Structure formats: C-alpha cells, structure tokens
C-alpha cells in the first residue's frame, strides 16, 4: 500500500528527503545530549574531516 504512493516522486527526491531528515534528527539528538565537544577538534584537522566527508559520500551513494 505504501509503495504506490511514492510512484510520482523520483529516487533523487526520496534520497534528498532522507538526507535532510537524517541530518535534522542528528542535530536534534546532539542538542538534547549536549555532545558538541568533538566538533571543534575535528574542524582543526582537515585531513580527518575530508575522510569523514568522503565516507559520508560513499555511504550516500550506496
């Protein structure tokens, strides 16, 4: 019953919605748990940040 309702939308639109809502859920979770201390050291390490961005891209493409 669910899949015919998604027929008018494209795969890219569904993927975009999943990415945006996942990001929102992570941000809300971080706000509630107050776990922001890892962000500042990560931003100071561009190589590690690049590897994380690459991993996120590969996971998204998968």
Encode pLDDT of 44-61 as tens digits: 998 999 998 899 889 878
pTM: 0.59
| CA dist., res. 20 & res. 14, Å (int) | 10
Task: Assess whether pLDDT exceeds 80 at residue 2.
Answer: no
| CA dist., res. 49 & res. 12, Å (int) | 25
Q: Which of 38, 42, 41 is nearest to 51 (CA)?
A: 42
Q: Which pair of structure tokens corresponds to residue 58?
A: 């590969």
Q: Which pair of structure tokens corresponds to residue 1?
A: 């019953």
Encode pLDDT of 3-42 as tens digits: 777 778 887 888 888 889 998 998 899 888 888 888 888 8
Could you tell me what percent of the chain has a pLDDT over 70? 98
């Amino acid at each position: 019953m669910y899949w015919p309702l998604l027929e008018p939308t494209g795969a890219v639109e569904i993927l975009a919605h999943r990415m945006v809502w996942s990001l929102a859920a992570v941000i809300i979770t971080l706000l509630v748990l107050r776990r922001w201390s890892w962000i500042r050291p990560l931003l100071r390490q561009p190589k590690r940040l690049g590897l994380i961005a690459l991993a996120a891209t590969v996971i998204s493409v998968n």
